[in-house]
A and B are shown apart, each in its own frame.
Chain A
Amino acid sequence: QIQLVQSGPELKKPGESVKISCKASGYTFTNYGMYWVKQAPGQGLQYMGWINTETGKPTYADDFKGRFVFFLETSASTAYLQINNLKNEDMATYFCAVGGNWGQGVMVTVSS
């Protein structure tokens, strides 16, 4: 069955960068696009965009253009989310998802 395993929690300072991984298994990685979702503490779900796993082309929702980068390591069936120049408002849990399958989420804490 499809499984998405994400990396562990992160504690970063404002201005730093963070890279979150999402390792897929149980299916052919390049057959399905992967999307990313942000959930701020106590808040709902916010779609960040998706990456075409066949071509590597990312598409970002408007709120996530600029500092956010989606990329792949296809040989390892792994997708990455990198957030540059972290801000306090980036503190959240980040999920990867393929179809109806979700990773367990990665909590990113931003604190000076």
Chain B
Amino acid sequence: DVVLTQTPPTLSATIGQSVSISCRSSQSLLDSDGDTYLNWLLQRPGQSPQLLIYSVSNLESGVPNRFSGSGSETDFTLKISGVEAEDLGVYYCMQATHAPYTFGAGTKLELK
């Protein structure tokens, strides 16, 4: 199975600060169809996960553009340009290129 390693496990930020989360894959997530199925999700406390970014860098409808994704093959990054209070929670990367799908262990974003 593909292993996704997220760093850091915990991130402390002030409101307005820009932060980045890394997700490294144990194998390339480039699919034979040319797409790379690496998604980013946010799970706020007590809620179900919410899709933020799909296929590395595509912003899900309704998601603020302070969120951005980048990367390729095995190295991916989620950036939040100016953290807001509503951004607090646990961020997961998820790959859907190789069966079975797998998730990173999560990065908890807290207020400093």
Contact = CB atoms under 8 A, between A and B. Distances in A.
B32 interface: no
Given A62-B100, A100-B54, A44 B48 contact: no
Interface string B2-43: 000000000000000000000000000000000000010001
A46 B104 CA distance: 9
Contact of A45 (B49, B51, B100): B49
Interface residues of A, number: 18
Interface stretch (A10-18, A66-74, A102-110): A102-110
Please classify how large the interface on chain B is, using the bins under 10, 10 to 19, 20 to 34, 35 or more.
Answer: 10 to 19
Given A47-B100, A59-B99, 4 more contacts: A45-B43, A45-B49, A47-B103, A102-B50
B76 interface: no
B50 to A, nearest CB: 7
A109 B105 CA distance: 23
12 contacts: A44-B90, A44-B104, A44-B106, A45-B49, A47-B100, A61-B100, A100-B39, A100-B51, A102-B49, A102-B50, A103-B48, A104-B48
A107 to B, nearest CB: 11
B92 interface: yes
A62 B51 CA distance: 25
